Amino acid sequence: MTAQHTAPRSVPAPPHGTPAPRARDELRLPEQLSDEEVATGLAAGDEHCLAAAHHRWGALVHTLARRALGDDREAEDVTQQVFIAAWRGRAGYRPERGSLPGWLTGITRFKVADALAHRTRRAELVAAAGTVRSGFPDTAARPEAVIDRVLVHHELERLPAAQRLVLRLAFYDDLTQAQIAVRTGLPLGTVKSHVRRGLLRLRDALGPELPGTEEAA
């Protein structure tokens, strides 16, 4: 019987068409492999060993991330990122130079540092939000909405002038498209086109869940 594992959802599977090495231990269950066998197999690109590594040391990675970040959700994200990075960087891992859990711990430190840097940037965006005019109501008590507002302002500045103008009038002056046409002297059809194209660009840059961009769907 040929065992053909699929890695857990939080662990990346090898690219389609990439054969995994066939070792003499292929028919053994992952938990029956020694740590050294798991490490060697992962370095060789064996997805069985990737799954075994995640099962064996996923809790360790999560615990380290949880202690550093103080947040379960962030720790879960970091844990997933660590094993994705381990799979993608497996060619650079040398089992003879260090244990696999030690290598994973090193990756965890880098990913935790990235998460903390991202957290700092979010705090800076909240602090900077005071300089941005609010185009969305009731955001004072919601940091996520404040950040969204700052990001929308940033992306608006990157739009072509005509799209930026009509979206500013819509977001900040709360004008309808017909009112924008009167204010700018542009044909209504042109205003609608600029609004749609601008919203599509904002959605591509910021995601469809941000305020206003669903109108472009």
DSSP 96: G
* Residue 117 near residue 100 (C-beta atoms within 8 A): no
Q: What is the pTM of this model?
A: 0.48
Domain span(s) for CATH 1.10.1740.10 in the chain: 30-125
DSSP 198: H
Assign a CATH topology to domain 30-125. Rna Polymerase Sigma Factor; Chain: A (1.10.1740)
The pLDDT of residue 214 is: 46
pLDDT in tens, 32-69: 789 999 999 999 999 989 999 999 999 999 999 999 88
* Residue 12 near residue 84 (C-beta atoms within 8 A): yes
> Who wins on pLDDT, 119 or 189?
189
- Does CATH number 1.10.10.10 belong to domain 134-216? yes
pLDDT in tens, 136-182: 444 444 444 555 566 677 777 888 888 888 888 887 788 889 999 88
DSSP 70: -
The pLDDT of residue 206 is: 65
Element (H, E) at 118: helix 100-128
Instruction: Single out the residue of 92, 94, 91, 5 nearest to residue 50, CA to CA.
Output: 5
pLDDT in tens, 169-196: 887 788 889 999 888 888 999 999 988 8
